[in-house]
Structure 1
Amino acid sequence: MRMNKKTLLIAMAAAMPCLGAHAQSNAELLQQIQALQAQLQALQAKVEQVQQKATGDSQAVTRIQQQLDVADDNAVLSGMKGLTVKAVVDPTFIHTQRANESDFVLMRDNDRFNFFDSAFGQAMIEFGKETEEGTQWKLRLTPKSSGGLVHEASVSVPMNADGTTRLYGGLIPDFSGYEYTFAHENPLVTHNLLFDFSAASNYTGAGMSYVIGDWEAKWMVGNVDGARGKSPGFAYRADLELSEFSGIGFSGVHAKDGRDYGNNRFDLLEFDAWRDRGDWSYRGQVSYGRYKNGASNGDAKWWGLSGLAGYKLTPRLQALVRLDYLNNRKNGGGVYGASLEDNGTGTYIDSISGFGPSIDNSTGMAIDPTRGVNRYALSTGLNYLLNDNTSLKFEVRYDRANGNVFLDSKTGLYKKSNVLVGGAIVFQF
């Protein structure tokens, strides 16, 4: 019987250790056994070290988890869990041609509202908290601002499991237009004409908010800008996200201002849109308003446009341009945010922000008391992101009207235009 070569080689290899064992002496065999025992003991020691380390690591993890549990319990007991704190401060330098002022603006609570001393140069701190069931609380403070100490004090309560329908109330900032109030959200130093003069500031009351697919909507019933008239006002907004790069929205306010026993009704409507793609950013807004007894000689009515474009020159440096227009001819002119005052001749005019009828400089009286001036504003500027928490802003703004409405403090004469230069440092966390 023949065996193949592979089988023969395997049999020979298996037999060789046995043949070698017969050639070894007992002393040699004992040495091999002792060496093997030493290797086994060393291996056992290493296994025990690994087991001890694993036990120590497990105990350390347990201790850390216990510490985290204690910290979490303490946070719950102290009310710190779910608490967030945000802050913004923006020291601002403003030079205005007609007012002949060059100064820094920060926490200056002027009684009079105007476009070069409004919602900038502020210090803001915000406290927010969300409970485990999804209730959201917010308190935002703005010391010595034109809007008062409390900018927002609100609560929002979920009405369904996913929180897409919510009941909210308190003091709520206005939510119209494409611009925001605070400097870290607003690319230029000043605000557009529609933000300043064709929108409310805040609402005090209650309402509902909804998220339905790509739509977000909310409404509120309450007092508008602190007015306490015969009936509350109604404010609303809806937004549609068209894509990840663009969206549209519209809003409205219908209320009475509380003066003359709450008979001065006003209606504010606006439509806005936005688009961000690559280095380009665009914002646009159309507004309409009417205001009983809000003009120089009767009821005010106006409409306006605002558009903003921004381009990233570098990832940190953005160039900006904004153009505004307000048509304000009816009844001598006047808008919701203007401060019309008697200039001493029986003519009511806002000679700082530029609203009202055109003035004859020889008499100080209106050329035509029934016709208000139309307003324009062109702003150009730069916004530089110094780091994640700090940005620098610079703006040159040219305001113009089609009549003499800006009072020149040097000459005492009324002019058609005004130039503003502004800069700001914005800190936030």
Structure 2
Amino acid sequence: MKSTTITSLLVAGVSVLPLVAQAQSQTEIVQEMRRTQAALGNMQTRMNELEAALKQKNAEAPGMNAEQERELNRLSVMADAQVDANTSMGIKGLKISGSIDPTYIYTQNQNRAGFQFLNSSLTATGAPEFAFDNGAFGAAILDIQKEMESGTKFHLTLIPNRVGAGNTIDGKSIVHEASIWMPITGLDGTRLLAGQVPSWEGYEALESYRNKLITHNLLFDFTIPASFTGVGFEKALNSKYTLKTMVANINSSKKPNSEKSTALVFRADYFDYAQEFTYLALVGMVGKLPNYRAAGASNPITTVAYDGTDALVKTLELEGGYTRGDWSIAGQVSVGAQRNAAITADPVSGNLRDSSWWGASTTVGYKFNTALEGVVRLDYLNNQKNGGGTFGGWNFADSRNGLGPDPVGNPEVGANRSEITLGMRYNFNANTVFKVEYRYDRASLPVFVDVRDGTFKRDNQLFGTSMVLSF
């Protein structure tokens, strides 16, 4: 800029000389040239002053000095190197999360109180031991997800010892979920899925950090499957509607000999975020599932293994949730039936009969402040036909969970079950929640055994508290 300005001025000065020469003498011309040179010199000095002032202003203005620029360059190189390393080591797109929830439980009829954490879900004889007071809590969960650049996602969830989808299948597996979710090229919003996934039924989640209370509702415990193992797809129809379906084994990682049929399961979801949060879902299942009642044992849950007999099961469920301000509500209504799976056989022919059930559950929460929330849950399970019974092993009288007919009454009528739970949860920080609950279970018949004297009662009381840490 400086040299260009000076040159322009010189050119302008030289261009006027012929005109000056015509009007003035040589002496006057020389004097004029000297005056012009002096003016140019003054201009150069002023320009130097202005340049110095500009440099001073730039130095005073916010910005990085030379040392800061070197540090920025060094960090940029390190960041690029870290990205390359993450990609080469498979860390890119990897998410690891998990939780633990040490729990204290008092249950009246079992005459038991103490901590439950990482206890085995098997009895001393190796049979599964699942109950509403010994369910999916007191666990350590590790969740691993990896999303590749192609959009394909790998999902693995491990739950050692405690009740997860895999553990429900054989009493030993720690794998709760092992699945692949792969986008299908050319079909926007469609993903192929395969592997073992937890059941899609139920408004409550199995994991404690996702569940408002400690225990689960009656429908969750006794009327929904644990897992689907097979192949299917998920389709996002638009921003509000999603459809999932699978052809799968239910509660089984491998079909036994002589069994070739699978089940069809589906879930259709509607989400609306316009009014904070609203969702509705229709979930269904039809197909052959293990029928422990047909195994011919008095109670295969505690005595014998499943012998490979399957029977047709049909379930249908409508669930939903709504959150607005400090209030939240969620719930479900369910119906279901399984062929030849009722607790009581025909009293004349001795043939097995169908089991059937229906029920409803709802949970209401209110936040007193940002940290403290009160929770109420109400459940009802109608299970009286043919002595009662659902599926997945609940095809026999169970005096711990209050299922089946009165031991000294009419074997044709099973007990209907209900429960109310009052709870509080306190968010201590972003990762830690403290829970406390009181639960009262009621049956229409005396079907709860009191282990202190062996008598049968119509009700049971439970108190629980837990600390849930998630990351």
TM-score clears 0.5: yes
Query: 1:224 aligned to 242, 250, 253, which one?
Result: 250
Shift of 1:255: 2.6
The one-letter code of the counterpart of 2:201 is S
**Structure-2 residue corresponding to 1:131:** 148
2:367 equivalent to 1:312: yes
Q: CA 1:48–1:323 in structure 2 vs 1: closer, same or farther (change >3 Å)?
A: closer
Distance in 2 (CA, whole Å) between partners of 1:161 and 1:263 is 39
**Structure-2 residue corresponding to 1:251:** 283
Distance in 2 (CA, whole Å) between partners of 1:373 and 1:179 is 24
**Structure-2 residue corresponding to 1:87:** 98
Query: 1:396 aligned to 438, 451, 466, which one?
Result: 438
2:241 equivalent to 1:241: no
Query: 2:162 aligned to 121, 138, 145, which one?
Result: 145
**Structure-2 residue corresponding to 1:17:** none
The one-character-per-residue Cα deviations of 1:334-359 (angstroms, maximum 9, x if unpaired) are 1225545xxxxxxx510011110012
Query: 2:397 aligned to 346, 349, 368, which one?
Result: 349
**Structure-1 residue corresponding to 2:110:** 99
The one-letter code of the counterpart of 2:390 is V
Greater strand share, 1 or 2? 1
2:465 equivalent to 1:423: yes
SS of equivalent residue, structure 1 residue 65: helix
Q: CA 1:192–1:70 in structure 2 vs 1: closer, same or farther (change >3 Å)?
A: same
Q: CA 1:153–1:163 in structure 2 vs 1: closer, same or farther (change >3 Å)?
A: farther
2:380 equivalent to 1:359: no
**Structure-1 residue corresponding to 2:454:** 412
Distance in 1 (CA, whole Å) between partners of 2:287 and 2:383 is 21
The answer to whether the Cα contact below 8 Å between 2:244 and 2:267 also exists between their aligned partners in 1 is yes
SS of equivalent residue, structure 1 residue 120: coil
Distance in 2 (CA, whole Å) between partners of 1:184 and 1:211 is 27
Shift of 1:294: 2.2
Identify unmatched segments of 5+ residues in structure 2: 1-41, 122-127, 168-173, 292-306, 345-352
Distance in 1 (CA, whole Å) between partners of 2:58 and 2:131 is 79
The answer to whether the Cα contact below 8 Å between 1:112 and 1:339 also exists between their aligned partners in 2 is no
Query: 1:200 aligned to 225, 233, 246, which one?
Result: 225
Shift of 1:292: 2.2
The one-letter code of the counterpart of 2:467 is I
Q: CA 1:177–1:41 in structure 2 vs 1: closer, same or farther (change >3 Å)?
A: closer
Q: CA 1:333–1:61 in structure 2 vs 1: closer, same or farther (change >3 Å)?
A: same
Shift of 1:85: 0.6
Distance in 2 (CA, whole Å) between partners of 1:263 and 1:45 is 87
The one-letter code of the counterpart of 1:319 is G
**Structure-1 residue corresponding to 2:237:** 212
**Structure-1 residue corresponding to 2:179:** 154
**Structure-1 residue corresponding to 2:34:** none
2:131 equivalent to 1:114: yes
1:28-67 mapped onto 2 (5 Å cutoff) = 43=53, 46=56, 57-67=68-78
The one-character-per-residue Cα deviations of 1:69-121 (angstroms, maximum 9, x if unpaired) are 11111111111111111011011111111111112111222212111111111
The one-character-per-residue Cα deviations of 1:244-301 (angstroms, maximum 9, x if unpaired) are 3212101112232245544322122110011000111001210011122322113210
Shift of 1:422: 0.7
Q: CA 1:72–1:405 in structure 2 vs 1: closer, same or farther (change >3 Å)?
A: same
**Structure-2 residue corresponding to 1:272:** 319
The answer to whether the Cα contact below 8 Å between 1:94 and 1:423 also exists between their aligned partners in 2 is yes
Shift of 1:46: 4.7
1:269-348 mapped onto 2 (5 Å cutoff) = 269-297=316-344, 298-337=353-392, 339-340=394-395, 348=396
Shift of 1:44: 8.4
Distance in 2 (CA, whole Å) between partners of 1:47 and 1:349 is 89
Q: 373-382 or 229-238: which moved more?
A: 229-238
Identify unmatched segments of 5+ residues in structure 1: 1-31, 341-347, 361-366
Distance in 1 (CA, whole Å) between partners of 2:67 and 2:186 is 43
The answer to whether the Cα contact below 8 Å between 1:87 and 1:124 also exists between their aligned partners in 2 is yes
SS of equivalent residue, structure 1 residue 61: helix
SS of equivalent residue, structure 1 residue 331: helix
SS of equivalent residue, structure 2 residue 180: strand
Shift of 1:321: 0.6
Distance in 1 (CA, whole Å) between partners of 2:392 and 2:113 is 24
Structure 1 vs Structure 2 CA RMSD: 2.6
**Structure-2 residue corresponding to 1:11:** none
The one-character-per-residue Cα deviations of 1:139-195 (angstroms, maximum 9, x if unpaired) are 111111123301111111111468510001111011112110111110011000011
Q: 68-77 or 239-248: which moved more?
A: 239-248
Q: CA 1:241–1:36 in structure 2 vs 1: closer, same or farther (change >3 Å)?
A: closer
**Structure-1 residue corresponding to 2:425:** 383
Shift of 1:126: 0.8
Query: What is the TM-score with the length of structure 1 in the denominator?
Result: 0.84
Distance in 1 (CA, whole Å) between partners of 2:70 and 2:186 is 39
2:196 equivalent to 1:171: yes
Distance in 2 (CA, whole Å) between partners of 1:279 and 1:422 is 24
Q: CA 1:102–1:48 in structure 2 vs 1: closer, same or farther (change >3 Å)?
A: closer
The answer to whether the Cα contact below 8 Å between 1:92 and 1:121 also exists between their aligned partners in 2 is yes
Query: What is the TM-score with the length of structure 2 in the denominator?
Result: 0.76
